[in-house]
Structure 1
């Protein structure tokens, strides 16, 4: 098995991160770092920190020169960071030492690596947002169409009270809408990093704030107005958002696995997997991917939280931990959004199976409603005791709660209790409210 499923010829299509896969390659990292170096030189030239002619030459060269990532490996192994090797290789390829000497003027490796990562994370967030909007469109259509379709609500895996399929879909979608609402703030965490060796920007003197602001403007990133070399909060806010997305989609996956299982069959998946030996199998592959990547993202996010305890002005071990975890977390979160986009349009509820759950529950899903209905005719404690007795009787002797209740209370009209559609409460309204919220998002 490959070191990462996303890099595997066998598993990459199962855990398909889509276009996001292109953002986490050595080539993409080198290109992002060169973009940062070019933008830095351009900003420094405009502010008179380096000669403007050299700045223009460097900026142009960063757009034209291609570096082999493999050539940076030996230096990275020694230095613990790829930037010294990148600067050396670029100066050699530029073949203009009079200009190349001004490359990377006053910057430190972390400035280049972190800013380059932010450029790629900006693209990633855009890709995930686009996929989430498509998922939400499919879920909103499903919720609106089936807002009034009764199905068994379950708590602790047991029959509880009736819900509607549309309200269940809304429960999947509302956390995703919350994520979209939070995205504007998350995007503000896409920060430029430019602080120099120990985060003080001392090499640039009084021009340091203006240089950082100019670099941020040139790259379309946010100027933090400070150093964040050892403050990993900006990165953690982004990965935390991606984790929230993966968790929300993982919950949908968990529910779908249960709803599609043999003996339940309350939903049909548009696509299912087969078995190598059992021809009848219709395996819920896509929901299982959602659950698996959510679990992975949760674990990786916990590791990143630990790496947030960065020591002093820069912590190499904490930084290395990010390199080991951030790409996998990002690709797995992107996988969740890609898979959900493909999964959601094919979901089809199965009303017959949903109705069968009411029959199989022996009417016990209406026990709460029955106790409240009887409370209009007797004290509440007596009503509760009577219903508990009837439930024990039905469980022990068979039959159904409706028949037993009508036998014990022949003078009370119980039809409002045992009409499944009458016990949905706000479920249909929740489903329709979700659909409207998606339309307005």
Structure 2
């Protein structure tokens, strides 16, 4: 087994997400750092800080320069950051007097953090696009199955009837909220990092504000109020939202695993995975992955949150901790949403089995409905006692609750209406409409 299953040739297709992972591999990081160096040179040339011809030369080389990540490894290990080795290699590639203007006035953290933001911008776009796709599939299930009655379960026990449409709406609703929070957070998250050695930009002198503004335009990233080298709260907030997203997907996955149990068989999620020895098995692999990735991110978030504890103007230890954790959180999120997008549209809903399972309690799941119906005639306490007596008789005789009730009371209750689970789903339709409306409003392309 490799150190990380995310980049394992054996396990990668199970755990990883190639589209997201490609944003955070070595070559992608180097390309983003070179984009920053090119944009910085252009910004400084526009402000008259470096010669325009030097900026042009730097941009030309940055576009074509593609160093082998391994060639930067020794320098990275020595400096604790890849930027010095990359800048040295870039200067050597540029040559001549122009090389001295590479990385002019910047610090390594400006490069790495701004490169990270460029990567995050693409990752956010991918994740939010997938949320919309998943939301569309869940919306279809919620609408189609708004009258598909099934057992509602609380604490793993049969409770009262619900509908599969409402259950699907319950999976959808958190996605709408989380997408909104990620969108709101993006305005703070996707900002340039540019502060120089200790966050003052003193090295650039009186033109610093002009260079900063130009750099913002070159990278198409807004300015921050001040350099955020040691302010990592927004990154922690972002990781928290990704963890909330995988948690919401994990809750859906857990429900699907339980609904797919052989004894329940109300839903069949995904394509199903086979067993090495049991030909009859169809394991809910994709649903299980959602649970696994949710638990993984929940654990990793606590480690990542410690990276917020920078000392003074920069902490190498906290910064390194981010590199160990944040890419994994993002990749796990990408993998989870990709699995869900692939699985949910093809869920097989067994409405017939749901109807069969409704009968397993022999009417007991409608005891609450019976109690409220009888309370109009007997009062609440008397109705409650009568229903409990009928439940005991039902268990003793293996009979239906409502058959026993009719033996115990002549109250004028429409028992045929009360014993139909479809008549006790309350405001399910209203709630589904609210969630679908929120999704339609909040997830417009």
Give yes or no for TM over 0.5: yes
**Alignment deviations for residues 241-282 of structure 1 (CA, whole Å, 9 cap, x no partner):** 211211111111000000001100011224100000011111
SS at match of 2:158: strand
Deviation at 1:327, TM superposition (A): 1.1
Distance between the aligned counterparts of 1:289 and 1:71, measured in 2? 36
Alignment partner, residue 138 of structure 1: 137
Contact 1:250–1:291 (8 Å) recurs in 2 = yes
Distance between the aligned counterparts of 1:418 and 1:308, measured in 2? 57
SS at match of 1:13: helix
Deviation at 1:438, TM superposition (A): 3.1
SS at match of 2:376: coil
Matches within 5 A, 1:23-172: 23-95=23-95, 97-172=96-171
Contact 1:246–1:293 (8 Å) recurs in 2 = yes
Which 10-residue stretch deviates more, 168-177 or 411-420?
Answer: 411-420
* 1:205 correspondence with 2:190: no
Distance between the aligned counterparts of 1:22 and 1:222, measured in 2? 25
SS at match of 1:50: coil
Distance between the aligned counterparts of 1:65 and 1:270, measured in 2? 43
Contact 1:61–1:94 (8 Å) recurs in 2 = yes
Name the CA shift for 1:292/1:344 in 2 (closer, same or farther; >3 Å): same
SS at match of 1:61: helix
Matches within 5 A, 1:241-280: 241-280=241-280
SS at match of 2:90: helix
CA RMSD, 1 decimal = 1.4
Deviation at 1:113, TM superposition (A): 0.4
Deviation at 1:397, TM superposition (A): 4.2
Q: How many residues of Structure 1 are paired with residues of Structure 2 in the alignment?
A: 440
Q: Which runs of 5+ in 2 are unaligned?
A: none
Deviation at 1:308, TM superposition (A): 1.0
Deviation at 1:396, TM superposition (A): 4.3
**Alignment deviations for residues 87-144 of structure 1 (CA, whole Å, 9 cap, x no partner):** 001111122x301101111111111001101100110111111111111111111111
Give TM-score, length-normalised by structure 2: 0.96
Distance between the aligned counterparts of 1:65 and 1:259, measured in 2? 53
Deviation at 1:18, TM superposition (A): 3.6
Alignment partner, residue 192 of structure 2: 192
Contact 2:270–2:287 (8 Å) recurs in 1 = no
Contact 1:190–1:221 (8 Å) recurs in 2 = yes
